[in-house]
Amino acid sequence: MSTDGERPQRHEEINAILERKPGTRETRDEANRYTVVGAASRRTYANWLTSIEEHFVCHRNEMPEIDAESWSVSLTGLDDLNDASDLGDAGDDAEERSLSMHAIREDFPTVAIAHTMECAGNGRGQHDPETSSVQWGCEAVGTAMWTGTPLRSILRAAGIEAAPNEANDRWLTAIGGDSIDEEVFARSIPLSKALEDSILAYGMNGGPLPDEHGYPVRLIVPGWYGVNNVKWLEELQVTEAMVTEGALDRPGSHARWQQADYRMHPAGSEPAVHETIAETDTEAQLRSGEVDHPYTFDAMVMSLIGSPEPDERVELRSANASIEVLGVTWSGDDAVEGVAVSTDGGDTWSDAEVFGPDYAGAWRLFRYGWTPDPGSYTLCSRASDEEGRTQPARISDPDEEEWTEAVESGTFPWNEGGYAANAYLPNAVDVTVAAPE
């Protein structure tokens, strides 16, 4: 199977997914390589919980054929394994342990966590000129409740504890079962993040994990971009470095999804390979310049208005009636400090109320009571996080400014992959307010 050309079965997968998920629609992929559907309505973002029927889907390779009874997740690289007896029905090889789905479900605690899953390419279609691949608007994000096993329980049963200091001394590489001979889908996250709050999920919104969301088990990394949340998980490897080319004991290329794709860089640049980095906060990498070509780990500060919807005609119930502007806001590992709403395209702003469930790694709701006169309006939302970072107004031109100058001047830097865009003007909502009849 070619990894770079058009995949004929892609449309078969999409059509089957659309039948199961009536709240989604296909998103344009100019390279015709990915299976992608996104939320069909902005009203999805007026709700805290995203239904499975409305939750976006994105993957590159064909979904693997699954036999859950025989599926297992292997643990490798366990050089410091002391006693594997706590790994349930794991094997006896001290260098590799294998956990069945029964062991993952029954031999460890079960938890449910909220996680806002956002594709790192969300907003790619807002870049001008366009970048390649999937032309997402803002529909590639959703919040679900994920049920599964705390990764810390499995790792600690294998004798793996936190790194001895705050640096990212060790990493956990997750490998997906959709890997093919030519190309392995592998992503590395710091071991500290894996031990902190990550889980192996086998349930979604109170039901079984759907096929297209990684059945029978996937990695969930709360607050981090979707690419880190590896689906159809088949191997976890503990190492001293992020995955690099040739690092895995299997055929094919290994490092594309860690070291090349999902890196932010100007046009024509080739990202430098790093075995480890100390800073995994995506925006901190971008602002500090300590990491050339930042990696997309935790999500950038963001907000979306879900109601009113774009081009909606809102009829006032009476003179001086109020309209409630509703939306969602999130910021990866960081807490949202506040949200402001503009009804004039960003010229003036008013504070909104942030409310609803408050889980680390998941979005919150916001609302703003608005009393407009009849007329046409452009609504925007702008969030700020606890680090004092605020959504920029727009995406820069490719050659407009240097990266650091773009950030300092309040624009999001255009990047060749179209990753991590969080500008608020591209997501503005035009509405018409009509007088009561």
pLDDT of residue 179 exceeding 80, the answer is no
Query: How far is it, in rounded angstroms, from Cα 97 to Cα 87?
Result: 8
The architecture that CATH gives domain 302-434 is Sandwich (2.60)
CATH class of 65-288: alpha beta
Query: Percent helix, strand, coil in the chain (nearest 5)?
Result: 15, 30, 50
Query: Which residue's entry shows tokens 């590159």?
Result: 60
pLDDT tens across 265-281, in order? 998 889 999 999 999 99
Query: How far is it, in rounded angstroms, from Cα 302 to Cα 282?
Result: 13
Q: Which two tokens stand for residue 265?
A: 């860089």
Query: How far is it, in rounded angstroms, from Cα 146 to Cα 227?
Result: 16
Mean pLDDT throughout 156-180? 80
| pLDDT score recorded for residue 81 | 47
Domain with CATH 2.60.40.650 in the chain: 302-434
Q: How far is CA 86 from CA 4, 89, 174, 201, 292, in A?
A: 43, 9, 21, 20, 41
Query: Which residue's entry shows tokens 């078969």?
Result: 12
Identify the band that residue 83 occupies on the pLDDT scale cut at 50, 70 and 90. Answer: very low
Mean pLDDT throughout 121-134? 94
Average pLDDT, the chain: 91
For residue 358, give every residue at least 6 positions away whose Cβ sits within 8 Å of its Cβ, in sequence order, or none. Answer: 364
Identify the band that residue 162 occupies on the pLDDT scale cut at 50, 70 and 90. Answer: low
- The residue ranking higher by pLDDT, 33 or 208, is 208
Query: How far is it, in rounded angstroms, from Cα 67 to Cα 343?
Result: 52
pLDDT of residue 18 exceeding 60, the answer is yes
Where is average pLDDT lowest: 114-128, 172-186, 297-311?
172-186
Report CA Rg, the chain: 22
For residue 203, give every residue at least 6 positions away whose Cβ sits within 8 Å of its Cβ, in sequence order, or none. Answer: 112, 146, 147, 148, 209
pLDDT of residue 3 exceeding 50, the answer is no
How many CB atoms sit inside 10 A of residue 31's CB? 11
Query: Which residue's entry shows tokens 């460890």?
Result: 108
pLDDT of residue 166 exceeding 60, the answer is no
| pLDDT score recorded for residue 408 | 82
Mean pLDDT throughout 60-84? 80
Domain with CATH 3.90.420.10 in the chain: 65-288
| pLDDT score recorded for residue 154 | 96
pLDDT of residue 79 exceeding 70, the answer is no
pLDDT of residue 1 exceeding 50, the answer is no
| pLDDT score recorded for residue 161 | 77
- The residue ranking higher by pLDDT, 68 or 363, is 363
pLDDT tens across 199-213, in order? 999 999 999 999 999
pLDDT of residue 84 exceeding 50, the answer is no
pLDDT tens across 318-372, in order? 888 999 999 999 999 999 999 999 999 999 999 999 999 999 999 999 999 999 9
| pLDDT score recorded for residue 8 | 61
Query: How far is it, in rounded angstroms, from Cα 46 to Cα 401?
Result: 35
| pLDDT score recorded for residue 421 | 97
- Residue 303 in contact with residue 426, Cβ under 8 Å? no
Query: Which residue's entry shows tokens 């002391």?
Result: 82
pLDDT of residue 173 exceeding 70, the answer is yes
Mean pLDDT throughout 170-190? 91
Identify the band that residue 181 occupies on the pLDDT scale cut at 50, 70 and 90. Answer: low
Query: What is the reported pTM?
Result: 0.94
